[in-house]
């Protein structure tokens, strides 16, 4: 009998030890994963070069820095001045990119084309990217302050509220959506490859990009909330973009996007009465429409902003 009790105690003790070890290992792996998906994209190890520049396409630009609204982080950008223009276009890149590398390094060419079409252009690096302040990356909730800071900077240059257009790619589109919900000075908005709800996208990225089983995700969400102060599952830009009405919105999306499913783009369009859409049947990857069909992309973007901005 005594031996049986000892055996049961041994089993209980080692079972508790096993579950404690497994729980700690699970949380450690989840913490590591949360750190990985939010790591700054502008560390020495991760930074992408700021090439090409608008000058490579015959357009002069200025290096600028300005504070993000609310939290005052230092944000970097290129400004393409156009003294004859009443309107300015803000270009915002996606996750782990910068103002030069976005859309397979075609962002500067797009900026130069918009400038030649008569607009002033501001290209920024979101926090944790490019030459902006090195902090952990988010999914738009904090990066919106960088967009708002850019709007403040443009208005300080003399651009009137409503005369500022914004084009955001993926994460940049999310940041622009959140910013436009708060700031009516953004008069027209283009969202390219932008998610409506981050949770299902996070599940896809977790599976396709990291190849990890889904049971880790709740722990990753928990660790992300502890590190960043908000839950990834609360990142729902579609709720913000609904506040854009009656301002003009164009949603661009590739139907074969493997990271942000096409149904998210359709949901965005359905959420905004009067929203325009341009859906590409295929032949392009996530955030690569401009890289795939640059002439058509430039034509569509310029036509939208010329129609809706003075």
End-to-end, the C-alpha distance of the chain in Å comes to 90
- What is the C-alpha separation between 96 and 143, in angstroms, rounded? 13
Segment 67-94 mean pLDDT: 98
HSE (side-chain half, CA atoms, 13 Å) at 305:
30
Lowest mean pLDDT among 44-53, 221-230, 246-255, 301-310: 221-230
Segment 250-272 mean pLDDT: 96
Segment 24-53 mean pLDDT: 89
**Which candidate, 132, 82, 83, places its Cα nearest to that of 111?**
82
Length of the chain measured in residues: 310
- What is the C-alpha separation between 263 and 28, in angstroms, rounded? 34
Quick one: pLDDT at residue 10? 61
Segment 63-69 mean pLDDT: 99
**Which candidate, 201, 210, 160, 106, places its Cα nearest to that of 310?**
160
Segment 114-143 mean pLDDT: 97
| Tokens, residue 268 | 């965005």
Evaluate if residue 286 carries a pLDDT over 90. yes
Spell out the domains of the chain, with CATH numbers in brackets. Answer: 38-197+235-308 (3.40.50.1820)
pTM of the model: 0.93
**Which candidate, 260, 119, 127, places its Cα nearest to that of 203?**
260
């Amino acid at each position: 009998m005594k031996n049986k009790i000892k055996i049961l105690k041994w089993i209980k003790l080692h079972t508790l030890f096993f579950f404690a070890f497994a729980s700690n290992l699970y949380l450690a792996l989840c913490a590591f994963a949360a750190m990985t998906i939010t790591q700054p994209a502008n560390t020495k190890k991760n930074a992408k070069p700021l090439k090409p520049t608008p000058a490579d396409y015959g357009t002069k630009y200025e290096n600028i820095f300005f504070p993000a609204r609310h939290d005052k982080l230092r944000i970097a950008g290129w400004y393409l001045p156009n003294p004859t223009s009443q309107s300015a276009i803000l270009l915002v890149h996606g996750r782990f990119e910068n103002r030069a590398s976005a859309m397979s390094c075609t962002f500067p060419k797009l900026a130069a084309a918009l400038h030649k079409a008569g607009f002033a252009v501001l290209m920024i690096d979101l926090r944790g990217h490019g030459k902006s302040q090195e902090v952990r990356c988010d999914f738009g909730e904090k990066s919106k302050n960088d967009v708002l800071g850019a709007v403040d900077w443009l208005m300080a240059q003399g651009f009137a509220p409503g005369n500022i257009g914004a084009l955001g790619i993926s994460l940049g589109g999310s940041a622009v959506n959140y910013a436009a919900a708060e700031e009516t000075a953004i008069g027209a908005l283009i969202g390219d490859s932008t998610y409506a709800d981050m949770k299902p996208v996070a599940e896809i990225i977790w599976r396709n990009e990291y190849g990890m089983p889904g049971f880790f995700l709740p722990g990753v969400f928990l660790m992300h909330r502890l590190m960043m102060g908000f839950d990834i599952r609360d990142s729902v830009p579609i709720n913000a973009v609904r506040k854009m009405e009656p301002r003009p919105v164009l949603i661009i999306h590739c139907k074969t996007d493997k990271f942000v499913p096409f149904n998210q783009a359709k949901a965005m369009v359905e959420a905004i009465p009067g929203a325009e859409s341009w859906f590409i049947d295929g032949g392009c990857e996530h955030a690569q429409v401009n890289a795939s069909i640059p002439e058509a992309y430039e034509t569509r973007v310029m036509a939208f902003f010329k129609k809706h901005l003075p």
